[in-house]
């Protein structure tokens, strides 16, 4: 009996939110990014659509609960059939611990505006709850309203292009993207009025950034020892993925905690 209790405690520790069983290797520089350590971002998902019988990666997303995934509204089209693939490192390989799950419903924010790219957030309810494991674990959500300070170290992860107009990588990428404060990011020579207080910027050094295919994926920030999803990849510069003073812009998750709760997902 004591052994079973100890095992339960160990499993509870290993599979809590924001506590990957395989810790990520930090300090790496998506554009200019490097291969992530396998299964070190176990909440990262691949959102895939069906095209003539073939499943294709279109966006990233974040598992926040065994039944719910957070992604960007601009990733969703009512005409598409989607599935969520979890526990992946290399998209083209049949990997132990990976899982493809159907979608029960998708909830796009009711005030999503594709012209101004406002409220770029959506929730996906999985057709069945996934079992947490070393390869599949949820990220934590940040406290409502929390704003990280300028230059706070965060990481973007995804299967987005390695450079502007470049190929899509098969292996999950990670890149260090420090937060850029709203005061700086909203300056005229940065993003100006395109950036709203409900967004968070990260990067902008002209070397590392998000790119096509990273959309919907997380801005991962560690706080008090736990990894939280602080952003959802929303948009970048039309001048190129790694343009100076044009950091990747994310939907700020802490601005939408009440909405996440209202639509029924755990927060």
What single-letter DSSP state applies at residue 210? -
Given the residues 40, 67, 98, 215, the one annotated as active site: 215
215 is catalytic: yes
**What is the SS3 assignment for 1-56?**
CHHHHHHHHHHHHHCCCCCCCCCCCCCCCCECCEECCCCCCCCEEEEEEEECCEEE
pLDDT score recorded for residue 1: 36
Tokens found for residue 160: 């987005």
Which strand ranges, in their side-by-side order, compose the sheet holding 154-158?
34-35, 173-176, 154-158, 218-223, 226-235, 248-252, 199-202, 179-180
- Taking a C-beta distance cutoff of 8 angstroms, is the pair 224, 17 a contact? no
The proportion of the chain whose per-residue pLDDT surpasses 70, expressed as a percent, equals 85
d(CA 180, CA 161): 22
Instruction: Note the pLDDT tens digit of each residue in 43-86.
Output: 999 999 999 999 999 999 999 999 999 999 999 999 999 999 99
Question: In this predicted structure, what is the pLDDT of residue 264?
Answer: 80
- Catalytic residue list contains 120: yes
Q: Which of 39, 40, 67, 74 is catalytic?
A: 74
Q: Residue 237: what are its φ and ψ, rounded to 5°?
A: -85, 140
Report the DSSP pairing between strands 199-202 and 248-252.
antiparallel
Note the pTM of the prediction, 2 decimals: 0.90
> Confidence band (pLDDT; 50, 70, 90) for 240?
low
Confidence of residue 13 (pLDDT cuts 50, 70, 90): very low
From 39, 120, 209, 237, active-site residue: 120
Give the residue carrying structure tokens 């990747």. 248
pLDDT of the residue at 239: 62
Of 128, 134, 148, nearest in space to 69 by CA: 128
Burial (CB < 10 A; 0-12, 13-18, 19+), residue 102, is exposed
> Which whole number is the average pLDDT over 196-200?
98
Least Cα distance to 133 among 95, 103, 174 occurs for 95
Confidence of residue 3 (pLDDT cuts 50, 70, 90): very low
Question: At residue 90, does pLDDT exceed 60?
Answer: yes
Count the alpha carbons within 13 Å of 79 in the hemisphere toward its beta carbon: 1
Tokens of 184: 């700086």
Show the domains of the chain with their CATH numbers.
44-138+257-262 (2.40.10.10), 154-254 (2.40.10.10)
| Beta bridge partners of residue 34, listed in sequence order | 174
């Amino acid at each position: 009996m004591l052994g079973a209790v100890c095992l339960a405690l160990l499993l509870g520790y290993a599979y809590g939110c924001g506590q990957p069983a395989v810790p990520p290797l930090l300090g790496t520089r998506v554009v200019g990014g490097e291969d992530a350590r396998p299964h070190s971002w176990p909440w990262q998902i691949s959102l895939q659509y069906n095209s003539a019988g073939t499943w294709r990666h279109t966006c990233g997303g974040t598992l926040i609960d065994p039944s719910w995934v957070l992604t960007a509204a601009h990733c969703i089209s009512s005409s598409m059939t989607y599935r969520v693939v979890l526990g992946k490192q290399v998209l083209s390989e049949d990997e132990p611990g990976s899982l493809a799950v159907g979608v029960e419903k998708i909830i796009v924010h009711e005030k999503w505006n594709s012209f101004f790219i406002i409220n770029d957030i959506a929730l996906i309810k999985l057709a069945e709850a996934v079992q947490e494991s070393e390869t599949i674990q949820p990220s934590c959500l940040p406290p409502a309203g929390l704003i990280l300070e300028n230059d706070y170290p965060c990481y973007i992860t995804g299967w987005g292009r390695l450079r502007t107009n470049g190929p899509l990588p098969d292996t999950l990428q990670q890149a260090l993207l420090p937060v850029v404060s709203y005061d700086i990011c909203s300056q005229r020579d940065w993003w100006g009025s395109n950036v709203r207080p409900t967004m968070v910027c990260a990067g902008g050094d002209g070397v590392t950034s998000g790119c096509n295919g990273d959309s919907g994926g997380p801005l991962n920030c560690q706080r008090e020892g736990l990894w939280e999803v602080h952003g959802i990849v929303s948009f970048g510069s039309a001048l190129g993925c790694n343009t100076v003073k044009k950091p990747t812009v994310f939907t700020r998750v802490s601005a939408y905690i009440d909405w996440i709760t209202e639509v029924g997902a755990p927060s």
